[in-house]
Amino acid sequence: MRSDLMKKGFERAPHRSLFKAMGYTDEELRRPLIGVVNAANEVIPGHIHLDKVAEAVKAGIRMAGGTPMEFPTIGVCDGIAMGHQGMKYSLGSRELIADSVEVMATAYPFDGLVLIPNCDKIVPGMIMAAARLDIPALVVSGGAMLAGQCGGRPVDLITVFEGMGRLKIGEIDEEELLALENSACPGAGSCSGMFTANSMNCLTEALGIALPGNGTIPAIDAARIRLAKDSGRQIMELVARGITFRQLLTREAFDNAIAVDMAFGGSTNTSLHLPAIAHEAGVAMPLTSFNAVSEKTPHLCNMSPGGPHHIEDLYRAGGVQGIMKVLADGGLLHTGCLTATGKTVAENLEAAAVSDPEVIRPLDNPYHRTGGLAVLQGNLAPDGAVVKQSAVAPEMLVHEGPARVFNAEEEAFEAIINRQIKPGEVIVIRYEGPRGGPGMREMLSPTSAIAGVGLDKEVALLTDGRFSGGTRGAAIGHISPEAAEGGLIGLVEEGDLIAIDIPNKTLTLKVAEETLARRRAAWQPLPPKITTGYMARYARQVTSASTGAVFK
């Protein structure tokens, strides 16, 4: 056993003595030692209940003859960090989480790991660490929040963000906004739409690194606790069979994940996290992989923020396994991939079914012919840019308009909320990329404000930063190279014409090359926005969004 490195033989008597100081018995130390990585805290609604999930995981490990040893990681709630300095630290926390799990699982050579994340960067951070370590591991998340109810209709966090803009234009009053605030997030769990957290939790099933149901069982459902116990038992089988994480994370598994992502219309942030995970697993996965899969994978689910359905609806309709069943029957998945169940995708799908063909549509009646995300390229984004095309109004799929240029999210938000943006314009927010931000802030506030003031079908927004999984509209992010690296987005001036063609996947700045050459010769990057501490170091080490914003 791997854990023998710290517990076996007379020379490890001091080590065993330290374990015994914590109450471990000789019998417990003789068993396989399983690290339980618990991201529970009291500052993320999706994590407030993870202590109960961890207890269930540990019970399952003990039932199967192992000894669980729990340790924590940090976590940032993107919703609470949104719109202020804290959001600069969210993406950067992913690398800290990955590093901390690697440190713990190397200093303590566990025989296996059970990863318990739920939100935002915690899910990919933990997965990246397990891929780096390549030991037996699986994921069991905390589950999704239920949608709220207000005025007889389902609401969620995005409803509140958009409510700010509706208040500004007089569509609702402060009392109505307070009613939304009090009802949109009714309890524990990752926010209820197909935002970043739930996109990544659902993709753990598609990657084969979690048991079926992990992506969609609600946080408050007892089935979530049973899944946690089953996951605790299952890690012991993976250890016994020597099935390591990279054996699951093959290129075919990543293709499956992209296909499922396209089918359910996931967050644009998956185009950051899947390449970063692939990088740690030693799998080549260029950003253009998303277009190649999207072209042949229809969009089957109309999930919030682009549509009316929430994770609880997807769960009742058949969940991720239901989506995978539809795709597999159409020959759109690699069904021979090994998964965390110890079985192949094909074997897992024998019990899968779709119970609501409106939530999970059949292949011959999709919401859109192609997948939920698209990667655009052109002179403005030679290394790529990403848009959630399933959440773009049809009239904005092709658009040309004059640029309105802002060097920070706050400047753009003020212009939007104060009605200084006109229909047809293209908002450009730059110096918000991985290096220039630093930290590539999510920009849910400006995109929600655009929707709230009623411009989401008339205005586009481009940025070298990123968007929340809750963003809808013609919001194109991850423009690479970013402004801080000398990308063309740094040379855009007020009034320049920008052409967007999402069906043909192009993004073009319509300015003569000789004019751009003069601008380039005079260009100077903005000074760093953070000069001390972790994010200053992060800015020096991070790579482009087109490569997953991994460290050099």
Catalytic machinery residues: 468
Three-class secondary structure of residue 433 per DSSP: coil
As a whole number of angstroms, the distance between CA 36 and CA 23 comes to 17
As a whole number of angstroms, the distance between CA 445 and CA 41 comes to 25
Q: What is the amino acid identity at position 393?
A: A
Instruction: Please count the other Cβ atoms lying within 10 Å of the Cβ belonging to residue 16.
Output: 17
SS (H, E, C) 496-536: CEEEEECCCCEEEECCCHHHHHHHHHHCCCCCCCCCCHHHH
Q: Smallest Cα–Cα separation from 260: which of 145, 384, 136, 348?
A: 348
Q: Smallest Cα–Cα separation from 204: which of 283, 266, 112?
A: 266
Positions of E strands within 274-372:
none
Q: Smallest Cα–Cα separation from 81: which of 442, 437, 472, 529?
A: 442
Q: Residue 132: CB partners within 8 Å, gap ≥ 6?
A: 98, 102, 280
Q: Cα torsion for 395, 399, 401, 406, to the nearest 10°?
A: 90
Whole-angstrom Cα Rg for the chain:
23
Q: Smallest Cα–Cα separation from 462: which of 482, 439, 484, 436?
A: 482
As a whole number of angstroms, the distance between CA 194 and CA 211 comes to 19
Q: What is the amino acid identity at position 523?
A: W
Contact between residue 276 and residue 94 where contact means Cβ atoms under 8 Å apart: yes
What sign results for the dihedral spanned by CA atoms 96, 444, 276, 528? negative
